[in-house]
A and B are shown apart, each in its own frame.
Chain A
Amino acid sequence: MRTAFIEGLLEEARARSDIMLLTADLGFSVLERFRDALPGQYLNVGVAEQNMMGVAAGLADVGKTVFTYSIANFPTLRCLEQIRNDVCYHGYPVRVVAVGGGFTYASQGYTHHGVEDIGVMRTLPGMVVIAPGDPMEAACATKALCTLPGPAYLRLGKAGEPKVHAGPIDFAIGRALEVRPGSDVALVSTGGMLVHAMETAEALAREGVSARVLSMHTVKPLDAEAIRRALAETRAVITVEEHNVASGLGAAVAQVVAAHAGPRAAFRMYGLPDEPYARVGGQAYMRELMGDLRKVAHEALAAR
C-alpha cells in the first residue's frame, strides 16, 4: 500500500506544485523517489512530529496541500494536539499519513502497535479517516485526497499486500465498496483486514453460508446507508478491523446499528479488546488474538 501511495502521490504532485510531502525522518526505501524527483516539494523535518504538524499547518495557510508521513502512532498520537488545534480547527488541507497501521510492526512491541489511531482520529472535527483495503484502494484514496478541501487521515499497511480488487474500482471517499455479494452475513472490513474478510467469506461459502464483504475504506464519514442495507438484507453484520473495537470501525458502525429502526441483523465487532498486549510476534500471530472470524459469524447467525 505504501508503494501505491507514494507512486500515486508523486504522479499527482508532478502536476501540482502546491502539493508537499513532509516526513519526520522515516520512509527509507519508500520516499526517495519523491525526494529525488521533486526536492522543492519535499522536506524531512527531522524526528519532530509536533513541529512537523505545525509546519504543515503553516504551509497550508500559505496555500499548500500537505501530506505528513511517519509510521505507527508517531504521526497521530505524538502530535495529536497540533492536529486538533492547528490543522482541524483551521480546516487546512493537511493529510496525516501513517504507515504500519494495526499490527504491521507487531514484533516491534507495544509502542509500534497502531490500534487506537482510527478511533482517536475519528473523534476530531472535520477529519476524514481512510484505511484502504488493498493497494488499489490506497492508490485511489491518495488521488482523492489531493483534491479534498479539509483535513484527512490515511492509514496504510506496509508494502506487498495482496491485491483484492481484480479490476478498476469505483472509489469515492465515504462510499463502501461491495467486494463480494452475499445474503446471510455481512463482513464490514476496514484497512488491510479486507484480505482476511475475503478468505473468511470463502471458507463460509464452503460451509453453505453466503457472506457479503464490504470494504469500508472510509471510517469517517461512514457510509451509513451501506450498513443499513446490510442490517436489513442479511442476518448478521460483523465489523472487521485490526484496531480497538471500542473506538474504531466497530464503534462507528455500532452508532448506526443503535439508531436502526425495525428488525435487523445481529451485530458483532471483530477486533481488539480494550487492553494492551505485552506479547509480540508476527502480524498473523497477533491477529489470532482477535479470535476466529468464521466462528464469530456462525455464533452471530445462530443468535438470529
Chain B
Amino acid sequence: MPDIERTQARARRIREHTLRMVHRANASHVGTGLSMTDILAVLYDGVAKVDPARPRAPERDRVILSKGHGAAAFYAALAEAGFFEPARLDTFCADGSQLAGHVSHHVPGVDFSTGSLGHGLSLGCGVALGFKRDGRPGRAFVILSDGECDEGSTWEAALFAPHHGLDNLVAIVDYNKIQSFGTVKEVLDLEPFAAKWEAFNWHVQSIDGHDHSAIAAAFAGLPRAKGRPSMIIAHTVKGRGVSFMEDKLLWHYRSPSPEQLEAAVAEVRRGKP
C-alpha cells in the first residue's frame, strides 16, 4: 500500500519538475501533466511492479502512457521513481535528447512510445493477453486521456479486453474534461462515461484523481472482478495545483513565463490542501 505522505511529497516534486521542464523547453501540455501527476505518484509507489535497476525485466508490469503528450510529467515521475537522474529532465525536448515531447521508449522506464492518440489500450491488451496465455503474473497499466476516447481504436480495444477476460489490464482515464480544442462536453461528450465502460463489461471505479488515498484504494486488490478488466475513471482538473492554470484550455498550449514559473512553483511547493 502506498505511503500517502510520501506520494504527496513526490507529487509536489513531479509538478515542480514538470513546470520547469515545460518552461525551459518552451513546450506545450503542462496542464495535462499536472492533471495526472497524482495518479503517477501513487502508481510508482509500489503499485506497478517495476524495478528501476532492471527496467527491461521481462516479468515487470508494463505502464503505458497512451496520452503520450503527458511526457514531461511522466519522465519526472520516472526520474523520481529512480529510473534515471532527475538532472536528465533538463534535456526535455532539447537538441539530441531522447526525452521527446511525446514519450519515447528510448528513455529508461518507458515501455512504449506513444503520441498519436488511441494506441495505448490496444498495446495494453496485447501485453495482458500475452501474459495470460503464458500464465505469467504481469499486468498492464494504461493511462488514457479523455480526448482519446474519441478515437475509434480505443473502443476496439474496449470491446476486446473483457471478451478475452483480461483482468490483468488496468486502464485509468485522466478525465480532466478539457481536450485539445475545447471542453469534452462541447467537442464530443463522453457521458454517461462510466456507464459506457460498464456496458462494455469492464469493472469501473470512479474516483477523485487528486485524492491519493482514493487512488491508492482504487489500485488495491485488483482485479475486483475476476475475468474483467479494470477501468478507473479519475476525475481530475487540468493544470491542477497552479491556480491560474486550473481548468484552462490555454495551458494545453502555453508555456509559463519566468514570472509565471516562479509563482507556479511556489504554489505547487505548498501543495493543495
Contacts and interface: CB of A to CB of B under 8 A. Distances in A.
Do A and B belong to a common assembly?
A: yes
Interface of A: 20, 40, 43, 45-46, 48, 50-51, 53-64, 81-82, 85-86, 89-90
B113 A90 contact: yes
Given A50-B156, A58-B140, A81 B116 contact: yes
Contact of A54 (B131, B152, B153, B159): B153
A89 B126 contact: no
B122 A85 contact: no
Nearest to A49: B156
Contact of B123 (A40, A46, A57): A57
Contacts of A89: 105, 113
A285 to B, nearest CB: 36
Contacts of B209: none
Which of A48, A61, A81, A89 has the most C-beta atoms of chain B within 10 angstroms of its own C-beta? A61
A82 B122 CA distance: 10
A81 to B, nearest CB: 6
A59 B58 CA distance: 12
Given A61-B127, A62-B130, A90-B112, A51 B153 contact: yes
Given A51-B160, A61-B62, A85 B119 contact: yes
B119 A54 contact: yes
B130 A58 contact: yes
Given A58-B140, A63-B58, A85-B116, A48 B129 contact: no
Chain B interface size range: 35 or more
B157 to A, nearest CB: 5
Contact of A55 (B114, B116, B122, B138): B122
A55 B134 CA distance: 15
Interface in B55-73: 58, 62
Interface in B238-273: none
Given A62-B58, A82-B122, 13 more contacts: A43-B129, A46-B159, A51-B125, A51-B157, A55-B126, A58-B128, A59-B127, A61-B62, A61-B126, A62-B134, A81-B116, A85-B115, A89-B105
Interface centre among B116, B119, B152 (most CB of A within 10 A): B119
Contacts of A20: 133
A53 B122 contact: yes
Nearest to B111: A61
A48 B130 contact: no
B166 to A, nearest CB: 10
A197 to B, nearest CB: 40
Contacts of A45: 160
A46 B164 CA distance: 12
A59 B126 contact: yes
B160 A61 contact: no
Contacts of B126: 54-62
Contacts of A64: 130
